[in-house]
Each structure stands twice: as structure tokens, then as C-alpha cells.
Amino acid sequence: LRAELGRMERLSLVGQMAASITHEIRNPMAVIRGFVQLMKERSPGDQQGYYRIVMDELDRANSIINDFLSLAQNRIVEKEKCSLHVIINDIMPLLMADANMRGQSIELHLADRIPTLMLNEKEMKQLILNLARNGMEAMDQHGVLRLETTAYPDYVELCVTDSGSGIPPEKLERLFEPFFTTKTRGTGLGLPLCLSIVEGHGGEIAVDSKEGTGTTFKVKFYRNRNYIGATTATAAGMHLA
């Protein structure tokens, strides 16, 4: 027990340091981005492409930092009674724009009625966006992404299914490891963050995948595990490292 406590304390110290470093890096980056934007506006047309790349890469670095920060911090997650369907409807325009750009489509199969749950709206949006984007990134043109909700007596299930490449068995077990990615421009922080969000809601996440056919991520939110008020989400994924 003593050894385990030491390990946890070290992890949380490293987590705190990482959190404050990333926090400090964000400010100068925001300033850099502002000036690059200004320089871009004042530059001739043949240089616009270079500035575009600089800004895209800054944005990418920023999203790595943001994901890492959400993961490394022990954050207090405020929850309120809300409907998963309202949240899904809110992010649909974003998802549709993404899908349209890729020539893909989205199918919604929402349950007729689902109970309200104690959720953190911002984290729910982050969760669904992450799962949906992974699904789209795994599919070619004409791929179909399916969002489905089902109400069971004890829980609500959300399934995100893609008709993409699928995941080979040896990679399945590494999906939730921080920094595990098979993409040249991936961060490998999306799924660890999803796991942390789901666990912070007392829920469960599972994956079902068949190579060449597609992948389904299933998330369960239990009605009787609806925490009242705030709970602390620990950096679930970080403990794997």
C-alpha cells in the first residue's frame, strides 16, 4: 500500500507540474498566433500559404495542450440535469459540416424518450465530438457515421458506429493509452480524454471493432450513478503510463 501511495503522489506531482507548464505555454502561444494573423493579413498572396501552415500548426499544438491539460488536471466536474439528445442536437451542425467536407454522411437513431441524466454539457460535447471525429477519420468518402441512443431501465447507451477500417486486435488494447496514435497528425489524447470523461460520470466505455467492416464505441451512463453536484475526475488515462 505504501509503495502504491508513493506512486500516486509522484503521478499527481508530475500531473500538477505538467498542468502548470502547459498553462504557461498557452499564453505566449496566443500572442504568437495573434501576430502571425496580423502578418498574414499584411502579406502578399504568394506567402499566404506559409502563414496558413504556421497558423494550422499553432492550432494543432494548442489542441494538444488543451487535451493534455484536461487529462492531466484533477478537474472538478460540475454536472446538471440534461438531455443527451439536446446535447447531440447542439453539436450536429458541427458534425454535419465535418462530414460534408469529407463526402460522408451521418445517421441519427435517437430513442423516442430518454431520461435526463446528471451530465457536464461541455465534456459530453467533447466526448461525442472526439468519438465522431475518430469515426470519420477512419472512413473513406461515402462512409456513414451512425449515432444511436437507447434507453434501458438502469442506463442510457450511446453508440457511435463507423463503416471504416476497423481496428486490429493488437491495437484494440492500446486505444486508451495516452499518446497512442496511428495517425501521422494524431495526438493520441482523444480516447484517453473520452475515458476520463466517461469515468468522471460514473459510466463505462467499450469498443467493438471488425477489420474492414467498422467500429462501434459504446458508452453507458447509469441512472443510479448520477452524482449529485460535482465529482472529481482523476486523470484516468495517466495512470496507465
Tell me which residues touch ligand ADP (CB under 6 A). Answer: 130, 134-135, 138, 162, 164-165, 167, 175, 180-183, 186-191, 215
Does 149 contact Mg ion by CB under 5 A? no
CB of 134 to Mg ion, least distance (A): 4
Q: Work out what residue 181 binds among ligand ADP, Mg ion, none; the CB cut-off runs from 5 to 8 Å by kind.
A: ligand ADP
Residue nearest to Mg ion (CB): 190
* Of 34, 28, 21, nearest in space to 65 by CA: 21
Residue 15 main-chain phi, psi, to 5 deg: -60, -45
- Residue among 156 and 189 whose Cβ is closer to ligand ADP: 189
β-sheet bridge partners, residue 159: 148, 218
Residues 8-20 as b or e (16 or more Cβ within 10 Å = b): eeebeeebeebbe
- Residue among 155 and 190 whose Cβ is closer to Mg ion: 190
- Residue among 19 and 145 whose Cβ is closer to ligand ADP: 145
- Residue among 134 and 209 whose Cβ is closer to Mg ion: 134
CB of 69 to ligand ADP, least distance (A): 16
CB of 165 to ligand ADP, least distance (A): 6
Does 134 contact Mg ion by CB under 5 A? yes
CB of 57 to Mg ion, least distance (A): 18
- Residue among 111 and 207 whose Cβ is closer to ligand ADP: 207
**Interface with Mg ion (CB under 5 A), residue from 15, 135, 164, 190:** 190
CA distances from 118 to 9, 34, 157, 231 (A): 30, 38, 14, 11
CB of 172 to ligand ADP, least distance (A): 9
Q: Which helix (H) or strand (E) holds 204?
A: strand 204-210
**CA pair distance 186, 166, nearest whole angstrom:** 17
CB of 173 to ligand ADP, least distance (A): 11
- Helix residue ranges per DSSP H, the chain: 2-41, 48-72, 84-102, 121-137, 169-172, 190-200
Q: Would you tell me which residues interact with Mg ion (CB under 5 A)?
A: 134, 190
